[in-house]
Each structure stands twice: as C-alpha cells, then as structure tokens.
Amino acid sequence: RKEVEQDPGPFNVPEGATVAFNCTYSNSASQSFFWYRQDCRKEPKLLMSVYSSGNEDGRFTAQLNRASQYISLLIRDSKLSDSATYLCVVNRGGSYIPTFGRGTSLIVHP
Amino acid sequence: DAGVIQSPRHEVTEMGQEVTLRCKPISGHNSLFWYRQTMMRGLELLIYFNNNVPIDDSGMPEDRFSAKMPNASFSTLKIQPSEPRDSAVYFCASSLQGDYGYTFGSGTRLTVV
C-alpha cells in the first residue's frame, strides 16, 4: 500500500457544484496533514492544514478520519479559478517529513 | 519576505555535464527539503535537512546526486554527471518544524539532452 493515495481524477464539474476529494494514508502514527494546490507549471501552495476536529476556510472544508486513515477536502460553489491539482500531504509518523500524494485534478467548466 | 528562492529557473544541459541547483530558504525556517517532480512519479522527496544537518537522504537516487547546506540561508543540489532521466522539475521547500506547512520555491526545470 502506498504511503499516501489519491484518486488522480480528473474531476470535471460545472461552476457552482460541490466536489469532494479523499486521500488515504498508511502510517497510523502520522500527526500532521495538509492540502496543497498546484497550478499547471507552478509550485505547490498550501491550501489548508487539516485538524482533528475538522476545519473550514470559506468554501473549503477539510476533515480527518483517523480510524479509517483518510482525509477529505470539500469544495462548495466551485469557481473556474478552482481548476488545479490538489495534493494531499501527510507527515511520516513521528517526524516532520512530508509525503505528497500524486494529486487529484479538478476541472471546473462554465 | 521574498519566499523560497531557487535558481536557475530553467537549465538545459548536455548529458555528462555537472548541474548545480541553488536554494535560499525563508529566513528563520529550520527545515529544508529538496523534491523532484515528474509526470510519472509525482513529487519525490530527495533529501531533508534540519538545522543545516542532513537527516534523511534515502530519496537521493544514486551517488550522482549530492546536496549540501553550508549555512541556514543556502543549499545546493548537485548532479554529476547528469543523465537524460534526470530531466524533471526540482523544488526546494522550507518550513518551521513542519507543523505549519511547507513553502515551495518556484522550482528549477531541468532538461538533460
């Protein structure tokens, strides 16, 4: 089993739709989780951290399920500008070393 | 803050040549990471420094790759000799302990012909 797994997509959704991505991780000792966004030919940028109680930032909601070892990202009211690749990041258990998933591609169309 | 600064942005070199990539992390960050990104393999961690000391270099592909961090504000990744399969985007990222996320530089797009 890979350390961090994501559905590569692409997820093709209309503007205004709600879309959700999941990411599973294999190391039950992992403590830190993040979602990053990467635009074509750009560097990854931090979208949001993922906290145990779940957290929200505007249209974006992140959840952590430790029992099933997955994190999720929900995007409400999708915008054209949300089109990008979304990378799940999990720190190796007991360290600050991040492992990146391969990313999920989102395409929002008019 | 200027963010993580990488140079050069693009590098085209011939097989067998030495390539040196440079990174200046964000001031005050104590962790530095070198990543390589390809379509086939995604983002792969090459090496991780903490307080200028290499902690994990298990991702360095082979002896042709070496990395140094002589001080808190500078790191290099060297490939000698370079091969076409080294063609990729190389990212440097820095963080403060890692709990607050990682900031990436703009990357170096390396092409070895």
Is B101 part of the contact surface with chain A (CB cutoff 8 Å)? yes
> Bigger pLDDT: A30 or B16?
B16
Encode pLDDT of B2-57 as tens digits. Answer: 899 999 999 999 999 999 999 999 999 999 999 999 998 899 999 999 999 999 99
SS (H, E, C) chain B: CCCCEEECCEEEECCCCCEEEEEECCCCCCEEEEEEEECCCEEEEEEEEECCEEEECCCCCCCCEEEEEEECCEEEEEECCCCHHHCEEEEEEEECCCCCCCEECCCEEEEEC
Of the partner residues B50, B101, B107, the one whose CB lies closest to the CB of residue A49:
B101
Of the partner residues B56, B99, B104, the one whose CB lies closest to the CB of residue A43:
B104
The pLDDT of residue B97 is: 74
At residue B62 the predicted structure's pLDDT band, cuts being 50, 70 and 90, is confident
**Number of CB pairs < 8 Å for A and B?**
46
In Å, how far is B48's CA from the nearest CA of chain A? 7
